[in-house]
Structure 1
Amino acid sequence: MDGSAKPGDRPPAVSVCAVVPLTVLSKRSDFLKAARARRQPTPSMLVQARRRAPGEADGIRVGFTCSKKVGNAVARNRAKRRLREIARAVLPELGRDGWDYVLIGKPVDTATRPFDLLKDDLRKALAKLHSR
């Protein structure tokens, strides 16, 4: 820092983190619409994607789900935390505006796969979904 700037003059780190805000899906109807759309399986998750109708909503929306097949509540929550984190890392750069994405966790694989491979799985799935 030069002599003119004081420690409190810098913006907080939080303000530069979110480039593209992701909206989280919460309505069951949105999950059902995505379930009827495109699907791309990966070794660690299933990715469902659908293009929304014009005027339905703005931005990128994403939902996360893990069934009881993934494990007990601790295992499901861990899998969903990992899915949320890869969505934050990958969707702002590769997701498309006007699309809904649902990431579905798989038993064992979502919670135990190395994080870099999880991100690669999502990147590959998005590339295939958008190439159709």
Structure 2
Amino acid sequence: MPARPPRLKQRRDFQRVAGKGQRAARPGLVLQALPVPGQHLRVGFTATKKIGNAVVRNRTKRRLREAARLMLGGGDLQGFDLVLIGREATAGRPWQILLGDLRGALKQAGVTP
């Protein structure tokens, strides 16, 4: 069972990734990725009030956390700070399609070959 990747929690880290990182948008999520050589992979999650009330935002973030754990929790990926941003479709998107969105966004942002 893959472990959870370490988290981004501070606002300045989210802003640094948003300002300097690569961006990849998919129907189910938006990925921002910033290479950080010599560091472990860290992942942050966010969902804005535009997508719905607290219940919808929390469901969205739970789904993104689980997708990240499954795809990135193996520990083989190093040197990136990632931010996963939920969209309106994230909470209701079929699970396999959401995983495909994350896989495609990682590839587009240059995180995985």
Q: Structure 2-normalised TM-score? A: 0.89
Which residue of structure 1 aligns with residue 5 of structure 2? 22
Count the aligned residue pairs: 111
Query: C-alpha deviations, 1:31-66, integer Å up to 9, x for none?
Result: 001101100000111000001154xxx321000000
Which residue of structure 1 aligns with residue 99 of structure 2? 119
| Unaligned runs of at least 5 residues, structure 1 | 1-16
The structure 2 residue matched to 1:63, chosen from 44, 68, 89, is 44
Alignment RMSD:
2.0
Looking at structure 2, the residues matched to 62 and 79 of structure 1 have their Cα atoms a distance apart, in angstroms, of 15
Looking at structure 2, the residues matched to 103 and 118 of structure 1 have their Cα atoms a distance apart, in angstroms, of 12
Q: Identity percentage over the alignment?
A: 43
Looking at structure 2, the residues matched to 35 and 83 of structure 1 have their Cα atoms a distance apart, in angstroms, of 18
User: Which protein has the bigger strand share?
Assistant: 2
Quick check: which has more Rg, 1 or 2? 1
Report which structure shows greater RCO (CA 8 Å, sep ≥6): 2
Q: Structure 1-normalised TM-score? A: 0.77
User: Which protein has the bigger helix share?
Assistant: 1
| Unaligned runs of at least 5 residues, structure 2 | none
Answer whether contact 2:5 2:75 (CA < 8 A) is retained.
no
